[in-house]
Chains A and B, each alone.
Chain A
């Protein structure tokens, strides 16, 4: 079965750090761009970051640039999002997604990050 499974979401204090993981299975992970998209409680979808197939090209939303880092380990079929200097406004469900904007778009079920003291 083709699927993406996120993990790592948690309650963290403002200024803290967290690393999200996304395990891919059922397809050739290293053939696709990967993305992170987030959704604050009761709000719409916001694109966060993307990474190309071999991990050499990255893009970030301005709101997370300099604080978040996207990376991947193709040997482990896993995508990561390192989140530093977290703020209350980063509270959201974080979705890992394959090929956003392409034919093979696929999303995980999401992992909740709550930033609060």
Chain B
């Protein structure tokens, strides 16, 4: 199985400041079609997960442009340019290159 490792696991951020989360996979997530099968999800308190970024760097519909995804191969990063109060929750990375799909441990973002 592909293991996904996130860091940090806890991320206190002051509103208006940037934030960054990293995720590393134990093997390349590059598919033969040229896409990285790698997503970022946000699970807000009491809610189900919502897709933020798909294929490594594409924002899902309705996601604010302060969120951006980058990376390739095994290393990926989610950046929030200016954190807002509504961004609190747990962020998960996930690989969908092969089954079983696997998630990172989750990064809990909280407002200072």
Contacts and interface: CB of A to CB of B under 8 A. Distances in A.
B48 A103 contact: no
A110 B101 CA distance: 19
A51 B49 CA distance: 20
A100 B101 contact: yes
Contacts of A37: 49
B78 to A, nearest CB: 16
B111 interface: no
Interface of A: 35, 37, 44-47, 50, 59, 61-62, 95, 100-103, 105-110
Interface of B: 37, 39, 41, 43, 47-51, 54-55, 58, 60, 90, 92, 94, 96, 99-106
- Which are the 6 A-B pairs with shortest beta-carbon distances? A101-B96, A47-B101, A105-B51, A59-B99, A107-B48, A45-B103
